Each structure stands twice: as C-alpha cells, then as structure tokens.
Amino acid sequence: MKRRDFIIKSALAGAALSAYQILPFGGMKKVNGVGNTLRFPPELQQGESLIFNSSNVEVWPGTTTQVLSLNNSYPCPTIRVQKGDDFSVLFENQYTEEATIHWHGLLVPELMDGQPKDAILPGNSYTYSFPVFQRAGTYFYHSHAHHLTAKHVYKGYAGFFIVEDDNELQYGLPTGEYDIPLLIQDRHSIYQPQFNYSPSNMDRMLGYLGDVPLVNGTPEAFFEVQRTLYRFRLLNGSNARVYKIAFSDNSPFWVLATDGGLKDEAVQMNSVYLSPGERLDILFNFNPYAIGNSITLQSQNFSGVGTQGTQMDLLRFDIIGDLSSGGIVPQNLAPINYYDINDITGTRTFTLSQGMMGNGMHRINGLTYDMNRIDENIPYDKLEEWKFINTTNNFHPMHVHGVMFQVHSRNGNTNLSPNDRGWKDTVLVNPNETVSVLAKFNDYSGIYLLHCHNLEHEDDGMMLNIKIDAPTNVEDEKARPDTFELNQNYPNPFNSSTKISYRLNNPSQNVTLSIYDVNGNLVEKLFDGVQSAGAHTINWNASKYSSGTYFGRVIVDGLIKIIKLVYLK
Ligand code: C2O
Ligand code: CU
Ligand code: CU
C-alpha cells in the first residue's frame, strides 16, 4: 500500500463509522435488483463520423425513447483524445433540422466552434478539425443551433470530450475503470418515457426543470464500486438545473479539477454547486464502507425559484469488492498562475436582466442575441476584468467561448470556494450576485460567444457576439528586451521544417509559441507551458501546410515577439 493512500483512509475512518450505522443495508447483503446499472456511451473510434439523427433507444427498461442524438447513442459517444492530437471528425446532419457541434471548453478556430451562425443544414456535412493543445480535462460537446440548442440537448444531443496527457499520469490518479465520467441531466416524468420538449412560459423563464435525474442517460442509476479511490468527472448537461453535489452521508470528497483541468491542489469539500455547462472532477474513497453497503450521490436542497434546489438522488454506489485502483490523492499538483487584478487593462460589465414574459425576456446589457451584430470588441492578449451583474432572482451560469478564465470575486469577496479556483469557462452567477472574472484571450481571434448556459435563457437570446481582435503587429508591442530574446528561425526560408529558438532571462516563465498565417489565424500551437531560464529550441514541421509566409509568435509572461517565417516548397 502506498503511504499516501493509507493516510487518506485514516482521515476518513471517523466519518465511515457513523455512515455505516445509518445505512439501511447492513452486513454482507448485496444491494442488487433495485434500479438500473449505470450506462456508459460508446467511445468514438478513429475515423468514425458523427451522424445526427433521431433514433429510438432504451432509457427506461422495456420501453423506448425517441432521442435526437449522434450515432444512435444517448448520451452521445464519448470522445477521448491526447493533448497534442489533431482532432478531426466528419459531421453528417441526417435530421430535418439544422445543427452544429459546439466543443464546449475547447479552444478552437471560429469556424470550428459550432456557433449558431455556422449551422450545418439538413442533408449537409462538415468536417470539424482542430489541434488539441489545451490542458487535459473534462470537456463537453453539444448542438448549438439557433433557437434549437435547448431542444437538441434535452432530447439527447450531448457528450463528453475528454483530453488526456502524460502530465496527469505522474500524479498517480485513479485511471481506467476507476476514472468515471458522469453526465448529469434531468427529465420530465409526465412525458416518460419520452423526452418531450415543450416548455411553458414559466419554463422559458426559469428553465426547463425536470424531476427525474438521469446519469449517463440512466434513471435510478446504480454503479458497483470497489472499496478504493475513484475519480468521477461530473458534467452538468442539464438545460437549467443546478445541482448541489454531495454524498448521502455528507462524506467529504476532493475537488480535483475544474472546467479547464486539474486544480493546483485537491481540496476537500462536503458539497459543491454544479451549474449547467460546468464540469468538476472529484476524488472519492469508498474504502471506509463495508462490502454490501451503499452510498448515494445526491443533489441537496437549496433555495431557488420553482423546483430549482429540490433534493434528488442521482446515483447509488453499491460497494461490492476489495480491489484497489492504486490511485492516490495527489499532494502537489502543478501550480496555476493566477492572474493579478492589478494587471487588468480594462473592465467590462455585463448586466443580466429579466424583462417581460415572451421573447427576449432574458438579456445581457439590455440586448438579445443577433448573430449579425458584434457586441464587444476584445483586444488580443490583454487581461480584462469582466463583471457579471445579476439583477434577477434566477441563476445564470455564464459561459464564454474561446477562452479559459479565472474567477476573481463574488460580490467583491475574493475568498472563493475551491470549485471557483482554477481554470473555468462557465461560472454560476447566483441571484442578485455580481461575479467578477479575469480573462485574457490569447489563442484564436474572431467571433465567439458569451451566453447564459441555462439553455432556455440562451435560446431566448441571452447571448452576445464577442470579437477577439487579431494579434497586433510586432511594432506595436513593447516587449522588454531583458525578458527574452527571440532569434530568427533557421533555416529561413525553409522547406518543410525549421527551428525556432529563444532565450529566457528569468527563471520559470509562462511561454507560448504559436504559428499564425498572414491573416492572423492560428495555424498551430507549438508550445504552451512553463519553462526555465536559458535557451530553448522548438522545431516546426510545416509539411502538411501550404508554402507561404507565416509568423512565429512567442509570448513570455504576456510580452509578445514575432518572427517572419518563409516556407518555400
Ligand atoms: Cu456549451 Cu455556447 O455552449
Ligand atoms: Cu461553449
Ligand atoms: Cu440565465
């Protein structure tokens, strides 16, 4: 047994005893026969397409549910890639409505982002392709068609996109069958076994809140576990419901990762809010429980309008064996460089308001979505504070495309809960609360979206177009020569591959090296991470690109230097 593992178990021993006594299933009796075994969607295979259509699947035993989904699978197939992969998939729309695939949380070029303006019409197909260069983590994909997102997602169109990397391996986390993605959604029992999408005016105001929780598309789900440490990747794929995630005996779990991957430390919590669009990876140790016992993952009561905040049982864990995952709770995760509010170049405010019943009752800065209007121009690579001011009594999980941001404060309070600390793309803004986040767009330029991820609110127009400026010319940048030196690439001109070298003059700096084309579009990200002082050389193999002029852009701690690369075939 690893030492770390042992410490974890001892720490939980007290909680385990009390839990043991209140559980209804004692001794060695196994809790079988009640509920349905947790389902797992198939994994997308290399070269396989994603086909959008309606199909009939078994959600409740013995009956079928008509879903709108990909490859006849609800939930949609899980996509698993390695950081550094070039991801590419052919999307075929065989249904009668337009659709897109939006890669929620993934940093992709505008035309790969699956926005409503880039819908794929019935009978058409489109290849989504992009390099995966961002942090390993739990991401999400779903349809994002104009006025149809809520319906498509409700009827089944959502899946996991999991990015893995070698870096995560060093921490000894639970992997394989001990690393479990859990998609949490709610459906309406009155339409059971169908997923009818027919929101009333009240539903359009509050969101389409169901009363039956499904986990990975499974009602009354149970999952058989070993007495060991697990990693659960929680994804709230519900249209509008916020969950207050906790275990039935209030045992603590570790919050390991937020929307944008691993946190800088695993932190224990007893309950945590998870709003639509958010992900949270947690670690939980079943070792304190005896074989034959059960513990349930729940959403606890909290106060909200309508049925928001109602307690629900999400997933029952039945403890059945003594195998070990070999996983540990890591003590030292890689540090996250938290932005400093003193470094902001400006503040933007987004006032969330609610108007009359009817169309456009949810607004941002008084506006509703117009796909042909640009609402905000955002400078490239500049840190900004964005304030979401919620003037309503409703929850608004605010989501931004094309960036990972950091939460800075809630109502001015910078003492944040662990699930707010780390990289985020969606943040829950509570009723009448102001949430401030720090964001810097330093990947792709172009048009992206800012919206509420309550999908009834989003379809109603609670969404804006934001335009990220193209990176500015090197002449405009005041790079301090003492921070780093960027050399001309060698050879230049070059045929298919060239070396880019630079020297960092300070220890441990944040470095990104990206290649852009002459129009300012990102071609490839070659490096993104922390490097030590000294000389570094990175090779760019351009053989799959056409010849021409490119720009190599190195950003070190926010300072940009650019070289011109000439590719002659
Ligand atoms: Cu998951 Cu624009 O959304
Ligand atoms: Cu998104
Ligand atoms: Cu909202």
Report pLDDT digits (tens) over 426-485.
Answer: 999 999 999 999 999 988 889 999 999 999 999 999 999 999 988 765 444 444 556 788
CA of 545 to the centre of ligand 2 (A): 28
Nearest atom (ligand 1) to Cα of 463:
2
457 lines ligand 1 (CB under 6 A): no
Residue nearest to atom 3 of ligand 1 (CA): 104
In 3-state terms, what secondary structure has residue 274?
strand
Q: Are 345 and 253 in contact (CB under 8 A)?
A: no
CA 204/CA 359 separation, integer angstroms? 9
Quick one: average pLDDT of 235-258? Answer: 98
In the chain, what is the straight-line distance between the N-terminal and C-terminal CA atoms, in Å? 57
DSSP character for 472?
A: P
Judged against a pLDDT cut of 50, whether residue 7 lies above it is answered with no
Q: What is the pLDDT of residue 363?
A: 96
Q: Are 44 and 9 in contact (CB under 8 A)?
A: no
> What single-letter amino acid sits at 496?
S
Q: What is the pLDDT of residue 485?
A: 83
In degrees and rounded to multiples of 5, residue 401 shows phi and psi of -85, 155
CA of 460 to the centre of ligand 3 (A): 9
CA atoms within 13 A on the CB side of 425: 30
Is 0.85 surpassed by the pTM of this model? no
Nearest atom (ligand 1) to Cα of 140:
1
> What single-letter amino acid sits at 181?
P
Residue nearest to atom 1 of ligand 1 (CA): 104
Judged against a pLDDT cut of 70, whether residue 272 lies above it is answered with yes
399 lines ligand 1 (CB under 6 A): yes
Q: Please, what is the Cα angle at 261 between 501 and 90, to 5 degrees? A: 80
CA of 259 to the centre of ligand 1 (A): 13
Residues with CB in 5 Å of ion ligand 2? 104, 401
What domains lie within the chain, and their CATH numbers?
Answer: 36-171 (2.60.40.420), 176-321 (2.60.40.420), 341-468 (2.60.40.420), 482-567 (2.60.40.10)
Pick the closest to residue 225 from 267, 179, 183 (CA basis): 179
Predicted confidence band of residue 489 (pLDDT cuts 50, 70, 90) = confident
Q: Both tokens of residue 488?
A: 């001309």
In degrees and rounded to multiples of 5, residue 5 shows phi and psi of -60, -40
Judged against a pLDDT cut of 70, whether residue 28 lies above it is answered with no
